[in-house]
Homo-oligomer: A and B are copies of this chain.
Amino acid sequence: MTDILGQHFIAGGRSAAGDVTLQSLDAHTGEALPYRFFQATDAEADAAAQAAADAYPVFRNLSPLRRAEFLEAIADQIDALGDDFIAIVCRETALPAARIQGERGRTSGQMRLFAKVLRRGDFHGARIDLALPDRQPLPRPDLRQTRIGVGPVAVFGASNFPLAFSTAGGDTAAALAAGCPVVFKAHSGHMATADGVARAIIRAAEATGMPAGVFNMIYGGGVGARLVKHPAICAVGFTGSLAGGRALCDMAAARPRPIPVFAEMSSINPMIVLPQALTERGEKIAVELGASVVLGAGQFCTNPGMVLGIASPEFSAFLDKLGQFIDAQPAQTLLNAGGLHSYCRGLTALGSAEGITHLAGREQTGNQAHPQLFQADVSLLRKGNELLQEEVFGPTTVVVQVRDKAELEQVLASLDGQLTATLIAEPADLEQFASLVPLLEQKAGRLLLNGYPTGVEVCDAMVHGGPYPATSDARGTSVGTLAIDRFLRPVCYQNYPDALLPDALKNANPLGISRLVNGVASTEAL
């Protein structure tokens, strides 16, 4: 693809005002790929934010139907990205082609799902309290509430989902659906991939008559801070490390006008393997769980980073089997050299910590990640050891053996916030351990039973969120249709005539949506 120019996408045009360039790398070999990208200047970062601000008044006021057509056009453009594009993504990320093809479908599917949300109309949150002119002692005025996009959103994509959590990923889809123009900071790990997706979005924007500046993208290290501090940016979506996410949160909170940051950061996704399940299918669980640990080289936000079980011969047998499985797994190439460096650092920290034993996995050498299994003494968890609370991003997990149910409850209570928490259990376990469920509810955004957290369905009911440090705001989700809520704010109209009300609130209910009218849900006209 000689059409990868390395230029920023600003206000519907291209820009490359800087002198510094960045190189796209082959994730397998570390070699330079023939794509260079300009580092955005401060003026370009500002121009991208301003372009989004200029687009906002027009874009947010388009009918939901128009925005749905835009999202569907993006979906079509993404589906049309062909084998040459897939090949670039694979080279930049070391992910296999079948995975990237699947992710392409997930990304376009996500856009289409948000288009459905726009047509369905519940995102409006329409509420109408009709006037009560005769009420004593004071009349009630006519009051109507709906929601509007908060304003331009800066989005930072993840390395591990170069399509579904990146340029046209869940945060971008949710922001655009909400009526918020986006400034995307291209991920340094897949800049050529980002270019291909950005051009797909721009083609869709042009085809559906969206305002210039509805989507902008800039390249460069450190340019994200400038975006987050820019007065025109009203919210931030981020997926990445705890250190990176927290830095953005701190920046956003320190602005003259603070803005919300929805950062999805660090989760060890505890899996609790209960006794009866171990008795009935311990070996099977060991293999399934091991497969979840090494899936995609362990580079999932929901990778199971901790396995908890009660000491028993069955648990010991399960650990043996899990160790054998891990030992037998091949090394895998990670997304980039930085990831491998972090992985090695994490393994070294675990390996050298008192109270942590290496159970299985070949010596970590070379330029690929070898799967590993550790066991930590329960006392470390109870003392709040930080090593056990932050994820090691890669194909490794830490086992913690507890004495009994009481100790299991104590340990769960000591955990930080999580994206997921999983029970592997038989019906008899659930009777005996039902008291764990409320504990898990307090710790995680998603509770699984007899499944593995590495699959994250994109649907209405999904929650990909959870208490800190899993995310910076447990009230949001970055996967699923509820993600749109993060970028909407309510507005109330008092005594406004029909002509000046948004369609969602007009008497005739022209959108045909469900509205809360005088406290009762209704799709009727008034």
> Which of A's residues lie within 8 Å of B, judged by CB?
57, 61, 102, 116, 120, 122, 125, 127-129, 137-138, 140-141, 143-145, 148, 150-151, 249-250, 253-254, 257-258, 260, 416-417, 427, 430, 434, 437-438, 441-442, 444-451, 455, 457, 459-463, 465, 467-469, 472-475, 477, 482, 486, 488-497, 499-500, 514, 516, 519, 521
Which residue of B has the minimal Cβ distance to A500?
B437
Per a CB cutoff under 8 Å, which of B143, B438, B468, B482 touches A61? B438
Taking the nearest CB of chain B, how far is it from the CB of A118, in angstroms? 13
Per a CB cutoff under 8 Å, which of B151, B260, B491 touches A445? B491
Q: Are B449 and A496 neighbours in the complex by a CB distance under 8 Å?
A: yes
Instruction: Determine the chain B residues whose CB is within 8 A of the CB of A434 once the complex forms.
Output: 500
Taking the nearest CB of chain B, how far is it from the CB of A206, in angstroms? 24
Q: Are B438 and A57 neighbours in the complex by a CB distance under 8 Å?
A: yes
Complexed CA–CA distance, A463 and B417 (Å): 31
Instruction: Determine the chain B residues whose CB is within 8 A of the CB of A253 once the complex forms.
Output: 249-250, 253-254, 258
Per a CB cutoff under 8 Å, which of B455, B459, B516 touches A138? B455
Complexed CA–CA distance, A432 and B57 (Å): 19
Instruction: Determine the chain B residues whose CB is within 8 A of the CB of A519 once the complex forms.
Output: 116, 120, 460
* Copies of this chain, tallied across the complex: 2
Complexed CA–CA distance, A492 and B434 (Å): 17
Instruction: Determine the chain B residues whose CB is within 8 A of the CB of A438 once the complex forms.
Output: 57, 61
Q: Are A482 and B145 neighbours in the complex by a CB distance under 8 Å?
A: yes
Q: Are B461 and A145 neighbours in the complex by a CB distance under 8 Å?
A: yes
Taking the nearest CB of chain B, how far is it from the CB of A276, in angstroms? 14
Q: List 11 A-B contacts (CB under 8 A).
A: A57-B442, A143-B461, A151-B442, A257-B416, A430-B500, A446-B493, A447-B494, A461-B516, A477-B490, A514-B521, A521-B521
Q: Are B495 and A141 neighbours in the complex by a CB distance under 8 Å?
A: no
Instruction: Determine the chain B residues whose CB is within 8 A of the CB of A144 once the complex forms.
Output: 461
Taking the nearest CB of chain B, how far is it from the CB of A234, in angstroms? 8
Q: Are B445 and A490 neighbours in the complex by a CB distance under 8 Å?
A: yes
Which residue of B has the minimal Cβ distance to A146?
B461
Complexed CA–CA distance, A496 and B274 (Å): 15
Tell whether A145 pairs with B490 under 8 Å between CB atoms, given A258-B468, A521-B122: no
Q: Are B148 and A492 neighbours in the complex by a CB distance under 8 Å?
A: no
Which residue of B has the minimal Cβ distance to A427?
B497
Query: Which of A138, A492, A514 has the most chain B CB within a 10 Å cutoff?
Result: A492
Taking the nearest CB of chain B, how far is it from the CB of A219, in angstroms? 29
Tell whether A475 pairs with B488 under 8 Å between CB atoms, given A57-B442, A457-B141, A521-B122: yes
Per a CB cutoff under 8 Å, which of B462, B493, B514 touches A447? B493
Taking the nearest CB of chain B, how far is it from the CB of A524, in angstroms? 14
Complexed CA–CA distance, A174 and B56 (Å): 32
Complexed CA–CA distance, A450 and B142 (Å): 12
Complexed CA–CA distance, A447 and B500 (Å): 11
Instruction: Determine the chain B residues whose CB is within 8 A of the CB of A469 once the complex forms.
Output: 257
Q: Are B495 and A450 neighbours in the complex by a CB distance under 8 Å?
A: yes
Instruction: Determine the chain B residues whose CB is within 8 A of the CB of A145 once the complex forms.
Output: 460-463, 482
Taking the nearest CB of chain B, how far is it from the CB of A464, in angstroms? 8
Q: Are A449 and B497 neighbours in the complex by a CB distance under 8 Å?
A: yes
Taking the nearest CB of chain B, how far is it from the CB of A152, in angstroms? 12
Q: Are A463 and B492 neighbours in the complex by a CB distance under 8 Å?
A: yes
Q: Are A492 and B449 neighbours in the complex by a CB distance under 8 Å?
A: no
Which residue of B has the minimal Cβ distance to A450?
B495
Complexed CA–CA distance, A260 and B461 (Å): 23
Which residue of B has the minimal Cβ distance to A459?
B129
Per a CB cutoff under 8 Å, which of B125, B462, B495 touches A143? B462
Q: Are B258 and A461 neighbours in the complex by a CB distance under 8 Å?
A: no
Taking the nearest CB of chain B, how far is it from the CB of A102, in angstroms? 8
Taking the nearest CB of chain B, how far is it from the CB of A194, in angstroms? 27
Instruction: Determine the chain B residues whose CB is within 8 A of the CB of A102 once the complex forms.
Output: 137
Q: Are A494 and B122 neighbours in the complex by a CB distance under 8 Å?
A: no
Instruction: Determine the chain B residues whose CB is within 8 A of the CB of A521 once the complex forms.
Output: 122, 514, 521
Complexed CA–CA distance, A257 and B260 (Å): 15
Taking the nearest CB of chain B, how far is it from the CB of A139, in angstroms? 10
Complexed CA–CA distance, A19 and B271 (Å): 50
Instruction: Determine the chain B residues whose CB is within 8 A of the CB of A474 once the complex forms.
Output: 150, 489
Complexed CA–CA distance, A69 and B462 (Å): 32
Q: Are A495 and B442 neighbours in the complex by a CB distance under 8 Å?
A: no
Complexed CA–CA distance, A150 and B465 (Å): 13
Taking the nearest CB of chain B, how far is it from the CB of A127, in angstroms? 4
Complexed CA–CA distance, A102 and B521 (Å): 30
Complexed CA–CA distance, A451 and B131 (Å): 13
Complexed CA–CA distance, A500 and B122 (Å): 28
Instruction: Determine the chain B residues whose CB is within 8 A of the CB of A497 once the complex forms.
Output: 427, 430, 449
Complexed CA–CA distance, A467 and B495 (Å): 21
Q: Are B455 and A492 neighbours in the complex by a CB distance under 8 Å?
A: no
Query: Which of A140, A460, A500 has the most chain B CB within a 10 Å cutoff?
Result: A460
